[in-house]
Amino acid sequence: MTTDRDLIIIGAGGAGLSAAQYGARGNLRTLVLDEMASGGQALLIEGLENYPGFPEPISGFDFTQKMENQARRFGAEFANASVLSIKARDHVFTVETDQGPLTSLAVILATGAVHRSLGVTGEAELAGHGVSYCATCDGPFFKARRMLVVGGGDAACDEAMYLAHLASGVLMIHRKEKFRAQKSLASRVLANTKIEVRFNTELIRIEGSPTVSRVQLFNNATNRECAEDVAAVFIFIGSDPKSSLAVPLGVKRDDVGYIETNQRMETGVPGFYAVGDVRASPFRQLVVAAAEGSIAAHAAGQYIDELKGEEYN
């Protein structure tokens, strides 16, 4: 069967770039599509210091540029295009883009997720300079300093517990009168002496230059404002996976919208894979995304070999 490419990867973040390298290195005609430059969420990382093999911090931009260059060296192609829809018929995928349709034998969806933001003054301006959406990524930069955690769900409580091991103290706020996290997890947070919890409290402004130094809080039960000195603000109010392209294919998603796969990154649609932050996963890190990308590309190669009758036993 004749297609434009063997493998089309949608999304050029860490997962997509890793898939591109492994796909091209496996001699698959590989094309990566993304609306913007390569990097994804990694572009927000000022100093990546927890990726194995990189003992010295490296910016997310520089790191993902290395990934792209490596994938290109193996023969992967890249194109800037918006993907409008994906259709599957007779073992061929048609990827409709704003540049026209493209066909392939396999598709890897690596579109990621978008962190929900509060939209308060200072949040966007200080993102990457004390405002973060990932405790594991950025918490170590603020060791022995006071940090603020915003949120009341499982993720917020998990991250607050992690940060409590690093910080001089954690101030955790939630706009409701009680946590919505699992009871056992919420209880551990409330029992942790390094975490001060304030309910009915909202973040209304983040201040500092060039990095976070203070926040303005509002108690919606007393209608009072107060200022607190903190070195970092960690916001955990959820993420929205960019999984809408998979919906028409009938791919299974969880309650939030993350795509469910098996350990080979396969969805219920043969030849269609999901990796990185768009996939249902207990731990979202760049190193995990890269691993998922490599697994998906390897699985896609085997699937394509089967389609072409080239499987080796």
Query: CATH number of the domain that 142 lies in?
Result: 3.50.50.60
137 is catalytic: yes
Its pTM stands at 0.79
Active-site entry in 6, 34, 134, 277: 134
Q: What is the bridge-based pairing of β-strands 106-109 and 100-104?
A: unpaired
**Within a domain: residue 248?**
yes
Number of domain units in the chain = 2
E-state strands within the chain: 7-10, 30-34, 77-80, 83-89, 92-97, 100-104, 106-109, 113-115, 131-132, 146-150, 169-173, 195-198, 201-207, 214-219, 224-229, 232-235, 239-241, 272-274
Paired with 150 in beta bridges are: 173, 235
On the question of pLDDT at 46 being above 90, the answer is no
How many Å from the N-terminal Cα to the C-terminal Cα in the chain? 22
How many Å apart are CA 163 and CA 29, to the nearest integer?
44
Q: What's the chain's average pLDDT?
A: 94
134 is catalytic: yes
Range of the domain at 16: 7-114+239-308
**Within a domain: residue 15?**
yes
**Within a domain: residue 1?**
no
Active-site entry in 137, 157, 158, 277: 137
Residues 21 and 104 in one domain: yes
Single out the residue in 172, 201, 235 at which a domain terminates.
235
Percent of the chain with pLDDT over 70: 98
**Within a domain: residue 266?**
yes
Residues 152 and 11 in one domain: no
**Within a domain: residue 313?**
no
SS3 state of residue 91: coil
Single out the residue in 215, 235, 255 at which a domain terminates.
235
How many Å apart are CA 306 and CA 171, to the nearest integer?
55
How many Å apart are CA 148 and CA 196, to the nearest integer?
10
Active-site entry in 34, 138, 158, 277: 138
Flag the least confident range among 46-55, 140-149, 216-225.
Answer: 46-55
- 278-305 pLDDT, tens per residue? 999 988 889 999 999 999 999 999 999 9
85: pLDDT confidence band, cut at 50, 70 and 90?
A: very high
Residues 165 and 304 in one domain: no
- 202-254 pLDDT, tens per residue? 999 999 999 999 999 999 999 999 999 999 999 999 889 999 999 999 999 99
**pLDDT, greater one: 41 or 30:** 30
